[in-house]
Amino acid sequence: MTSHIFRRQNPVRILNSYTAFWIYPQPGNQFILPCGIPYMDSKRRCGWGFENGDELYIRYHDAEWGVPVHDDKKLFEVLVLQSTQAGLSWYIVLHKRDSYRNAFDGFSPKKVARYDARKVGALLENRGIIRNRLKIEAAVNNAKHFLEVQKEFGSFDSYIWRFVPNGRPIRNRWTTVRQAPARTRESDAMSADLKRRGFKFVGATICYAYMQATGMVNDHITSCFRYREV
Ligand SMILES: [Zn+2]
């Protein structure tokens, strides 16, 4: 190691410059640049999976994860991506998000609900997305039920937020990422209701990940700079 330690007020610029080469030996605050120089990020983050210093992943954590979502299109996007994630890492799915956006008509539930067997066949040929027939068919199936829920409740937003008390985010107080559960009473109830309505790939752990991603729960650890911001 070397004695050159940089402190910057705006780590985003650094993230843009050195992305592909970073490692993240101490979750939340220290990077080693490719030349071997440590760089201290002034911000503490949840210690999940930043070891490869992936810019997209860090940005997702810093800007999206845990932020309450009330926009139906975004809620559908997260539903498609979380149900696709089953058995895979979020990292893999996140890196395919742009391809998914292109392949699935900008995550329009109306358009996806109309996909026929030929369109599903074409999606199975698309190397930009996870080419799993069950998951692709689940996305189409879920789009149909998504529209039904919108019709019944006025919006998917007003339906899905019923699964947290008073429709408000649940604010947890974890000090390490390992303390966050894989499922809760609320995610079990959400999963059961979605299944009853015909949704697929909506098990309790997928539902809990959905709640975390859409800010229905705040699972940033208390020392993470996003804990108080979301
Ligand atoms: Zn965090």
- Reduced to 3 DSSP states, what percent helix, strand and coil does the chain have, rounded to the nearest 5? 50, 5, 40
* Token pair 């309790």: residue: 204
The Å distance, Cα 135 to ligand 1 centre, comes to: 29
Q: How far is CA 157 from CA 33, 120, 154, 199, in A?
A: 42, 27, 8, 16
At 101-130, the pLDDT tens digits run: 999 999 999 999 999 999 999 999 999 999
DSSP 116-169: -HHHHHHHHT-TTS---HHHHHHHHHHHHHHHHHHHHHSSHHHHHGGGSGGG--
User: Which token pair is 166?
Assistant: 């008073």
Neighbours of ion ligand 1 (CB under 5 A): 46, 220, 224, 226
Show the tokens assigned to 201.
């790939």
pLDDT score at 59: 83
Q: What pLDDT sits at residue 102?
A: 97
At residue 125, the pLDDT reads 97
CA of 220 to the centre of ligand 1 (A): 4
Cα(221) to centroid(ligand 1), Å = 6
142-157 tens-digit pLDDT? 999 999 999 999 999 9
* CA 218 – CA 201 distance, rounded (Å): 23
How many angstroms does the Cα of residue 186 sit away from the middle of ligand 1? Answer: 21
The pLDDT assigned to 42 comes to 59
Instruction: Using the mean position of ligand 1's atoms as its centre, give its distance from the Cα of residue 26 in Å.
Output: 14
CA–chain centroid gap for 186, Å, is 18
For the chain, which residues score pLDDT lower than 70? 1-42, 49-53
d(CA 166, CA 148): 23
Domain extents for the chain?
A: 6-63, 72-218
Beta bridge partners of 170: 217
What's the CA-to-centroid distance between 226 and ligand 1, angstroms? 5
Residue 2 has a pLDDT of 33
Instruction: Give the Å distance between the CA of 61 and the centre of ligand 1.
Output: 6
Beta bridge partners of 218: 171
Q: Which fold has domain 72-218?
A: Endonuclease III; domain 1 (1.10.340)
Mean pLDDT of the chain: 85
Burial class (CB in 10 A: 0-12, 13-18, 19+), 34: exposed
